[in-house]
Amino acid sequence: MRVSGFTFVRDAVRLRYPVVPAIQSILPLVDEMVVNVGVSSDGTLDLVRAIGDARLVVLESHWDEGQLERGRVLAQQTDVALARCGGDVCLYVQADEALHEDDQASVGAALRRLHEDARLEGLLFDYVHFYGSFHTVGASRRWYRKEVRAVRNRAGVRSWRDAQGFRIGAGDGARKLKVAPSGGRMFHYGWVRRPEEQTVKLAEFERLYHGDAARERRLAAGFRYDASEKVRVFEGTHPAPMQEWVAREDWAFEARPRLLRRGHLREDLLDLVEGATGVRVGEYKNYELVR
């Protein structure tokens, strides 16, 4: 079995993406690591190349500005990286995610199952979403709990919508992947920059979805983390490749989460149901689970 890792990134330095730790977190599991680097003016290409691993396959791409609406370019660039993968199975990590080393053995076994079990088309990973700081984790239903991050190669798999997950085929006819649990956790760091840095990142993201005017509005409005966001204290350890980043980028965030919030009554009541029963009512699942 041959395993390909893959990811994409653009402007990682300017937008404060921990792409190097992200790549390093899955390197022990792959035979090649395909990194699709969008043309950047901030040294992102040199940053990726400096990893210096012989398994690195670095592509350079120009983003199609005509595909920016609703984040479609993110899926397009994911597909560019996936198409270059030569492995039997492919392990995906986004530029603000990291796999914990404690889970490598479980994920390695699951990748072998993905290769050998003809029923399977992908693997499902549990998610840990940091919000506000490296010490607080999102605890409400707004944070997806699981997503596909490994796929069978050459099975018609394509990135779905804005690259959150994958499906077989494209458009209205695309179907969900048949997946099994991976035993792995993806740690997501997309919401832990300092507010001024998060403003710039969100402004660029909003441009990808809604155009230049949305970007300018975000820059003018700025950004402030919501102290009432439902979070819990993170009591584990960060993936080893992320620990230097965490120490350097850490900052103070004081959360004051509330059980019930004005304007969020339905969401908050459903959170209470989930807390009592473990069941997430109406959960969006972009996959079909195979046991």
pLDDT by residue (tens digit) across 111-130? 999 999 999 999 999 999 99
Averaged pLDDT for residues 48-67:
92
pLDDT at 268: 74
Going by the DSSP 8-state scheme, the letter that residue 88 receives in this structure is: S
pTM above 0.85, yes or no: yes
pLDDT at 70: 67
Query: How many percent of the chain have pLDDT more than 90?
Result: 77
Whether 144 contacts 125, CB under 8 Å:
no
pLDDT band at residue 170, thresholds of 50, 70 and 90?
Answer: confident
pLDDT band at residue 278, thresholds of 50, 70 and 90?
Answer: confident
pLDDT at 67: 65
As assigned by CATH, the class of the 1-277 domain is alpha beta
Averaged pLDDT for residues 188-214:
94
pLDDT at 149: 98
Cβ-Cβ contacts under 8 Å for 241 (sequence gap 6 or more): 20, 21, 22, 24, 25, 98
pLDDT at 192: 96
Q: Is the pLDDT of residue 156 over 80?
A: yes
pLDDT band at residue 243, thresholds of 50, 70 and 90?
Answer: very high
Averaged pLDDT for residues 196-207:
95
* Selection from 1, 6, 43, 46 nearest residue 23 by Cα: 6
The H or E element that residue 72 is part of is helix 72-84
CA distance 136 to 250: 12
Calculate the average pLDDT of the chain: 93
Averaged pLDDT for residues 227-239:
94
Q: Is the pLDDT of residue 148 over 70?
A: yes
pLDDT band at residue 218, thresholds of 50, 70 and 90?
Answer: very high
pLDDT band at residue 155, thresholds of 50, 70 and 90?
Answer: confident
pLDDT at 69: 67
Averaged pLDDT for residues 78-92:
98
Q: Is the pLDDT of residue 263 over 90?
A: no
Query: What b-and-e string marks burial along 235-274, b requiring 16 or more CB atoms within 10 Å of the CB?
Result: eeebbebbeebbeebeeebebeeeeeeeebeeebebbeeb
Instruction: For the chain, give every domain's residue range.
Output: 1-277
Chain centroid to CA 206: how far?
17
pLDDT at 291: 79
Span 4-22, pLDDT tens digits = 999 999 999 999 999 999 9
Q: Which amino acid is at 191?
A: W
Query: How many percent of the chain have pLDDT more than 70?
Result: 98
Averaged pLDDT for residues 215-224:
95
Q: Name the least confident of 28-37, 72-81, 128-137, 250-259.
A: 250-259
pLDDT at 187: 98
CA distance 95 to 228: 27
